[in-house]
Chain A
Amino acid sequence: MTMQNIGRPTRPEEAPVAEAGGEHRSLTGGRGLLQDEALLFELGGWSKTGVDFPPADHDAADLGDLIRTQPIGLPGLSEPEAVRHYVRLSQKNHAIDLALYPLGSCTMKHNPRLNEKMARLAGFSDLHPLQPQSTVQGALALMDRLAHWLKTLTGMPAVAMSPKAGAHGELCGLLAIRAAHEAKGDLARRRVLTPTSAHGTNPATAAFVGYAVTEIAQTPDGRVDLADLAAKLGPDVAAIMVTNPNTCGLFERDILEISRLTHEAGAYFYCDGANFNAIVGRVRPGDLGVDAMHINLHKTFSTPHGGGGPGAGPVVLCEALAPFAPAPWITHGDSGFALVEEARGPAAQALGRMSAFHGQMGMFVRAYAYMRSHGADGLRQVAEDAVLNANYVKASLSDIMSPAFPDGPCMHEALFDDAWLEGAGITTLDFAKAMIDEGFHPMTMYFPLVAHGAMLIEPTETESKQELDRFCRALRALAAAAKAGDVARFKGAPYLAPLRRLDETLAARKPRLTWRPEPTTVAPTPLAAE
């Protein structure tokens, strides 16, 4: 592959003036409060810095030829310029703080600010992972309390805290399952079963651990096909990976039979806990026969998504898998909490180590503050309101859009297909982009794969009825426009976003993944070391 390093306009003022925003055009291309913002590298700050330091007492002559002699190529900004750069950029993002963010399977709920404040207490944020354990007893106590809540809410006896996100938790769970099979001398299990509707991380994780992946068929009502599952289970199957509630937003009503069949075949039941928000406080996965499940603290327990991360993915484990949990873990003795960091001696069965330290402490503090705020009663209300809101959206749109599974209630998310758009000349993608012009983030599109042109809407419990009504009115208006043949409204959308529709094919065909100076400009000459 060759990288395209040059050729496109890289300064905003050279780009064509947008036609969006009505007939009036500004003289410079400006659009009121919506500021265009050049790249950091185009702001001219090759010799600036926004941080003042005292002079160093020593030079680095002792490092001889290990010292960098070439310029790095980093621009700098004074503090006012930096603040303006990032504030301007921030204003080009949709956010849950702005409006409903109905991404199915992502649980975009309100992020309480108390949790941010708590995570920033110096007694949590300014702790080194390797300082003596006697100096971090409060931090270990918090991890232990969070673990207690997670175990109680899931009805599981053990939890591994160190996985850093959902997929990392899946990996941890499958490694524990593999270790458990190997400990029994059962080396013949080489396959993992997942439903067609599974998250992409499920088959990717199974393959990562060295398992072959076989798909389980789905029934017409959106659940695991028990007969197909029974037929595919056997002495070569290590585990099934099933999301419950599943990615169609439906509770697997045969879940007890699924776990019974799985266990009878000697396999483990890994549950993808991405949708735990729908049942938290009401249903315990442990009662459903689940052997391992990750919990996305950034979904159910409201730690902020931060534009893509960080997450946190503790994994609850059944009795049989608990001995294989990775280091470290917490024990409680006479002198307080202790962190067991090595898989040796009595802990020798541990599957190893998932990452350098103890997990996402900053996320633990936020999630624990969230749980304590809600309590057992509030968390139960979370699940109920999440499910109520999703069913309300489904009921409010069912006459004009086509629910993929119209019969019976959904759980925390409502799945529609694109049957209602047939003949309109408008795709799910077009419809989603038109939602942007109405001020909403699109729903999850084209996932799960089992619904044609899928539109998966997850409102979450932190939306008011007023906001849901506003959302449904917007979707109904758009749906009516689509059926009335107003194709241009959709095909050209979005018109009112900071940018019009972006050319993703171009981006992939000629990848341009780093900024490079244009050939006509003089290469920047950063300051040498003082």
Chain B
Amino acid sequence: MRYLPLTPADRAEMLGVIGAATIDDLFVDVPAAARHADLFDLPLQAGELEVERELSALAARNRAAGAGPFFCGAGAYRHHVPASVDHLIQRSEFLTSYTPYQPEIAQGTLQVLFEFQTQVAALTGLDVANASMYDGSTACAEAVMMAQRVTRREKAILSGGLHPHYAATTQTIAHAEGMEIVRQAAAVDAEAAVLDAIDAETACVVVQTPNVFGVVTDVSRIAQAAHAAGALMIVVTTEAVAYGLLKSPGEMGADIAVAEGQSIGNGLNFGGPYLGLFAVREKLVRLMPGRLCGETLDADGRRGFVLTLSTREQHIRREKATSNICTNSGLCALAFTIHLSLLGEAGLRELALLNHSAARDLATAVAAVAGVEVLTSRFFNEIAVRVPGDAGALVEAMLADGVVAGVPFSRLDPAAGLDDVLLLAATETTTRDDIAALVSALRRRIGQ
């Protein structure tokens, strides 16, 4: 077996050093009833060529997003990632290192995390960011639980514009901690209903912008109302490229900003691994979850970086930790920070503008299709449209035209009664030909 270096002679010699007759002697503590002399009923070892053949055949049964016109968004976005990003994250020293618990021989990872934290703080307009969470949805749940620790209140209000999977994840995880999760009805202009729900028991208000229907909102008024009631304002973003063009959460009064960072540096990967961005105001640092990297000095007075404030974390605090999180999304954060370093401020703004510009073309084009109503007026790179009949059936039908025509809202929330709503995203990868193909397929299918 090509990954196992020991030879039969090595094994015999090593057993001799140990003083064991056979390998079975080393498994002597396993109860006899649980010992298996035979192999389990699975295929035997295979060479690279055979494995590659099987996996390539499986991959060939999927339709890659880049294979033709493609308009899915709703929390995961297809962007172009520079070739150097994927090359650099495959450097052995990044790819095959562990969590940087020995800082003297992990300065590469640690400096990257410090730079990542600084970039995320800048993007969100907040003071401090952690070294990443699993993804945007779990970061959202962690933010809600953090609000409980900060305010010592139990109620969280989730706007109806929050991605339904984020709301469901938060319901599952934060409810486990005993919180009361108030999930408002899904609606394109859901933010209006949030203000009325804030009361003296509210720990936090969670609003997404751009929301799941693509609507961009200024949450300043909601933040003011939340603060007046002693609650925290949590702003969620599922499309991190939007930070390049839109007002930051911090600028609008957010106390905590969470986001899905996949859009920058990371591929779609069928839903994971992604990375959660998590940033807070300075005064909340000691109650935040996840790893933090900080600057310090070495014994010779040289600058270096370490994981710090770990008294919040499970390996020190155990049942009193701020979260049970241990593993983060280090390599995805590396891809994010490399891509963002390549973009720089100027590049990110250009990229964001290209996305917005493509979405404007998309909105104009589909609005001209008889029977299609664009529901989103102010958007970044994603819109919601109303179509005649069931959006899911329409998407299925349009596959025959070679077009993956977005995400039916019912896929995210079947109970919302919005079966005729379709979510369409455009990015810098969307061409005019793609939009033309979408429009022509829409005309054909809606006309039927």
Contacts and interface: CB of A to CB of B under 8 A. Distances in A.
Contacts of A85: 341
A127 B3 contact: no
Interface in A24-76: 37, 39-41, 45-51, 53-54, 56-60, 62-76
Contacts of B251: 68, 70
Contact of B404 (A135, A363, A526): A135
Most buried by B among A67, A210, A388: A388
Contacts of B343: 49-51, 74, 76
A394 B328 CA distance: 32
A73 B122 contact: yes
Nearest to A396: B17
A180 to B, nearest CB: 14
A130 B411 CA distance: 8
Contact of B319 (A75, A206, A362, A373): A206
A315 interface: no
Contacts of A363: 272-273
A381 interface: yes
Contacts of A153: 40, 42
Contacts of A98: 92-93
A250 B26 CA distance: 11
B31 A152 contact: no
Contact of A353 (B172, B267, B302, B411): B172
B52 interface: yes
Given A40-B115, A128-B70, A503-B296, A465 B361 contact: no
Contacts of B111: 37, 39, 89, 92
B165 A356 contact: yes
Nearest to A506: B296
Interface in B180-235: 216-218
B95 interface: yes
Q: How large is the interface on B (under 10, 10 to 19, 20 to 34, 35 or more residues)?
A: 35 or more
Interface string B406-439: 0100011011000000000000100000000000
Contact of A92 (B107, B171, B275, B313): B107
Interface stretch (A278-286, A415-423, A482-490): A278-286
A111 B340 CA distance: 27
A473 interface: no
Given A82-B338, A287-B34, A503-B296, A63 B216 contact: yes
Interface in A82-133: 82-83, 85-87, 89-98, 101, 103, 106, 108, 110-112, 114, 116-132
A75 B96 contact: no
A171 B36 CA distance: 30
A425 interface: no
Contacts of B135: 164, 355-357
A412 to B, nearest CB: 10
Interface stretch (B153-161, B281-289, B367-375): B281-289
Contacts of A503: 296-299
B331 A309 contact: yes
A365 B273 contact: no
| Chain A contact residues, majority secondary structure | loop
Given A137-B61, A141-B61, A514-B127, A167 B347 contact: no
Given A129-B270, A251-B30, A74 B345 contact: yes
A75 to B, nearest CB: 6
Contacts of B90: 116
Nearest to A148: B42
B29 A504 contact: no
Contacts of A442: 102
Contact of B28 (A373, A408, A465, A511): A408
B387 interface: no
Contact of A124 (B59, B292, B301, B316): B59
Contacts of B59: 118, 121-124, 138
Interface string A1-21: 101000011101001101110
A10 B118 CA distance: 14
B102 A441 contact: yes
B17 A203 contact: no
A156 interface: no
Contacts of B218: 65-66
A310 interface: yes
B163 A58 contact: no
Interface in B313-337: 313-321, 323-332, 334
Contacts of B446: none
Given A49-B344, A51-B343, A409-B25, A310 B134 contact: yes
Contacts of A332: none
Contact of A123 (B64, B246, B248, B331): B64
Contacts of A310: 134, 272-273, 275, 327-332
Contacts of A467: 5
B118 A395 contact: no
Most buried by B among A256, A342, A355: A355
A125 to B, nearest CB: 5
A512 B61 contact: no
A501 interface: yes
Interface string A424-464: 00000000110010000110000100000000000001111
Interface in B51-70: 51-52, 54-67, 70
A344 interface: yes
A129 B78 CA distance: 11
B132 A309 contact: yes
A175 B175 CA distance: 10
A470 interface: no
B395 to A, nearest CB: 6
A69 B286 CA distance: 31
Contacts of B356: 56, 58, 60, 63
Contacts of B40: 152-153, 281, 284, 376
A175 B177 CA distance: 11
Contacts of A95: 92-97
A73 B28 CA distance: 61
Given A63-B378, A213-B319, A502 B103 contact: yes
A312 B91 CA distance: 21
Contact of A86 (B70, B91, B104, B407): B91
B115 A307 contact: no
A311 to B, nearest CB: 4
Nearest to B209: A66
Given A57-B357, A74-B348, A126-B64, A376 B44 contact: yes
Contact of A511 (B104, B168, B294): B294
B247 A207 contact: no
B350 A530 contact: yes
A49 B306 contact: no
A376 B39 contact: yes
Nearest to A145: B58
Interface string B101-117: 11111111101101101
A127 B78 CA distance: 9
Contact of A281 (B28, B39, B55, B248): B39
B441 interface: no
A112 B111 CA distance: 26
Interface string B37-48: 001111111111
B20 interface: yes
A128 B78 contact: yes
A498 interface: yes
Given A308-B131, A376-B40, A58 B92 contact: no
Contact of B72 (A70, A131, A530): A131
9 contacts: A76-B347, A128-B72, A139-B270, A355-B134, A356-B163, A358-B270, A358-B271, A377-B1, A499-B298
The 8 A-B pairs at the shortest CB distance, nearest first, are namely A76-B344, A123-B59, A357-B271, A306-B331, A138-B61, A352-B172, A129-B271, A308-B330
Given A90-B88, A123-B58, A134-B399, 16 more contacts: A1-B283, A8-B297, A75-B344, A93-B94, A121-B55, A138-B59, A152-B40, A164-B135, A168-B325, A210-B177, A281-B40, A283-B36, A357-B76, A372-B55, A373-B2, A388-B14
